[in-house]
Amino acid sequence: MSQWIGTSNQQYAPYAMEEIRRLVDGASFTPLSPGEVFLMNTPLDRQTVLQTITQQEPIFLRHLQAVDGTIDISGEATDLERLSDMLGAEALSFKDKRTAVHIRRHPKTAFLFSAADTKAALDAKLIEFGAVPALQDPERIIAIYASPDKLYIGFGSPRDMLSDWAGGAVRFQREEGQISRAKFKLLEAEKAFGLQYAKHQKALDIGAAPGGWTSLLLERGLRVTAIDPADLHPSLSAYPTLTYLKRNASEVKLAEGSFDLLVCDMSWSPMMMCRLVLDLEQALVKGATAIITIKLMHKKPMQTIRDVISRMSTAFVLQKAKQLFHNREEITLYLIKK
């Protein structure tokens, strides 16, 4: 038997639970933060669950934390002392390892200590154990979820938890002059899918305006052809490596095999997006990467996703489909051109 804390984007927990239910025999769920965080119980052991989830990672599951221990919250200072004591039992697993402490709090938790105070206390304990407290690129993670009446504590690697960020909430700092927050979606996709955009040479951005995704690719040194009837941000005109086609993608003809990267983040219906991308797929070289968002405009997102993947499979091989933290009413697809 094993117990887990699962996290999705807000309002998408039912879909994450549906996906898990199909993968993990006997899984049952209790909401902790409705629509986002839930407790999962399963008769399967920890290793079996991890192997199943990592082999067929659910689209809507953003973060997964094994529950290795619980503490009933008293609302007293002793709660933090008991939490520190629980770390002591795991001391050997932290020695000489970069270790992050991730704390998430339910708004109505009785746990007195802020995330910052809790982290400071536990980091001090980790130093005693010979660990290296880390904010980035940890080898081990101590994940704590403070529900209204209970602390759920789990230990694992970033791979085990599907993310090296607390709750899978990937944060990027907004830059001065940044065109749009949509840039964060493409940054997160690079991290989530293990990509390096700078390894590509020529990119095609369909539905580019106002230019958040185009700006990132230009900054990485790519030559970018951006297509959109709407205006791009004026700052992008400073890049000699930008070709801007101010027209509908359906009107554009491109030379065959011209691009090794395609990106598309259009607020159009999923099937319309598929048609536009497939109409231009001949402009991609074999093996080209495609990063595409699917807008979930209907009440049956799972069916929409299946329909899009099936349609795109005529020209692309799906590598991964994921609702990233910076996705809202959408998911992101990572595809390779056949």
- Does 205 share its domain with 138? no
pTM (two decimals): 0.93
Q: Give the full edge-to-edge strand order of the sheet including 223-227.
A: 242-245, 223-227, 202-206, 259-264, 284-295, 330-337, 316-322
pLDDT of residue 90: 85
- Does 67 share its domain with 145? yes
CATH number of residue 257's parent domain = 3.40.50.150
> For residue 178, what pLDDT band results from cuts at 50, 70 and 90?
confident
On whether residue 146 sits in a domain, the answer given is: yes
- CA atoms within 13 Å, Cβ hemisphere of 199: 6
**Amino acid found at 249:** A
- Does 209 share its domain with 154? no
Specify the 3-state DSSP secondary structure of 182.
helix
**Amino acid found at 260:** D
Domain extent for 72: 2-168
- Does 217 share its domain with 127? no
Q: Tokens representing 276?
A: 């536009």
Q: Give strand pairing partners of 3.
A: 41
On whether residue 176 sits in a domain, the answer given is: no
Domain count, the chain: 2
**What is the DSSP code (8-state) at residue 174?**
P
On whether residue 174 sits in a domain, the answer given is: no
Strands 2-7, 37-42: pairing is: antiparallel
CATH number of residue 103's parent domain = 3.30.2130.30
pLDDT of residue 183: 92
Q: Are 319 and 292 in contact (CB under 8 A)?
A: no
Q: Quick one: average pLDDT of 94-113?
A: 95
Nearest in space to 225 (alpha carbons), one of 250, 244, 240, 246: 244
Of 144, 168, 192, which residue is a domain's last?
168
d(CA 140, CA 204) in angstroms, rounded, equals: 38
Q: Quick one: average pLDDT of 66-93?
A: 92
Q: Quick one: average pLDDT of 105-134?
A: 94
Q: Which of 124-128, 185-189, 299-303 has the highest mean pLDDT?
A: 185-189
